[in-house]
Amino acid sequence: MRKNMLRILAILMALSLLVACGNQTDGDLEALKGDITKLEEKLATVEADNAELMEENEALKAEIEALKSGETPEEPVDENPMEEEEEELPIFGAEEDGTMIQASTIVVKTDEPLINKMNMMGQELGEAVFGGLTMEAVEIREEDGKDILYVDLKEEENADPSWVYDYFQGSTGGLVTETALTETFLQREYGGIWIDGVHFTLNGETIEYDHVPNLRETILR
């Protein structure tokens, strides 16, 4: 209706221009032409808006029909999906003198729960440094205002390799073991949210071996 009214107005203005051509000044004619031009521009805008509304109307009709037939309307494809942020964490080993070295790395999602990151590090640490031995990041406890990670080293009877007989024996072996375990889990250079300390157990029990004395205590970052 709005479009028709504008067209009628444009026609009336044009007729007025024709009738008045004989006795109008040049200024009046130019003013009339200007008014007609404005009406034509407004009409073009209305027609464009109307075309857009028609497209939306057709889309809504299609969605309604899909819902009636039990189909799920297709979701628009996001051409720029957000990529999940990832970060790389080092896995540490040690030289015989206790000097820390990087033995491997893992890539984790930045928003991965912290306990999950710990278990992923533990799995890679066991494979890369401790001959496939396993460990579990059991929980993170709050103690005296600090977040302490509890890691349980797993060892089956007659295991080969063995935590006790292969990695807790000898001053050199014990130092390498302590360094690899503590530095991997503490990640002292990491700048994000992390634990404040780590406590190790062996099959749920306190670790009481002379060459790994630090593993019986909570080690702070």
Asked if 128 and 175 sit in the same domain, the reply is: yes
Asked if 9 and 100 sit in the same domain, the reply is: no
Q: Which residue has the tokens 């996001």?
A: 78
Asked if 201 and 119 sit in the same domain, the reply is: yes
Q: pTM for this one?
A: 0.63
| Largest CA-CA distance found in the chain, in angstroms, rounded | 118
Expressed as residue numbers, the domain containing 176 is: 86-220
- What is the C-alpha to C-alpha distance for residues 21 and 17, in angstroms, rounded to an integer? 6
Rounded to whole angstroms, what are the CA distances from 139 to 57, 113, 142, 217? 56, 12, 10, 16
- What is the C-alpha to C-alpha distance for residues 28 and 26, in angstroms, rounded to an integer? 5
The number of domains in the chain is: 2
Domain membership flag for residue 79: no
**Average of per-residue pLDDT across 92-111:** 95
Asked if 141 and 212 sit in the same domain, the reply is: yes
- Residues 43-80 have pLDDT tens digits of 777 777 878 888 887 887 877 777 777 655 566 666 66
| Torsion over CA: 129, 135, 136, 138 (sign) | negative
Asked if 52 and 106 sit in the same domain, the reply is: no
pLDDT at 82 over 70: no
Asked if 153 and 204 sit in the same domain, the reply is: yes
- Residues 6-18 have pLDDT tens digits of 565 555 555 555 5
Domain membership flag for residue 107: yes
- Residues 151-205 have pLDDT tens digits of 999 999 988 999 999 999 998 999 999 999 999 999 999 999 999 999 999 999 9
Q: What is residue 167's DSSP assignment?
A: I
Domain membership flag for residue 34: yes
Asked if 51 and 123 sit in the same domain, the reply is: no
Asked if 125 and 31 sit in the same domain, the reply is: no
42, 68, 94 - which closes a domain = 68
**What mean pLDDT, rounded, does the chain reach?**
85
Asked if 101 and 194 sit in the same domain, the reply is: yes
Asked if 94 and 139 sit in the same domain, the reply is: yes
Asked if 14 and 120 sit in the same domain, the reply is: no
Residue 105 sits at φ, ψ, to 5 deg, of: -145, 160
pLDDT at position 42, please? 77
Domain membership flag for residue 128: yes
Asked if 216 and 163 sit in the same domain, the reply is: yes
pLDDT at position 98, please? 87
Rounded to whole angstroms, what are the CA distances from 172 to 58, 95, 178? 77, 9, 10
pLDDT at position 209, please? 96
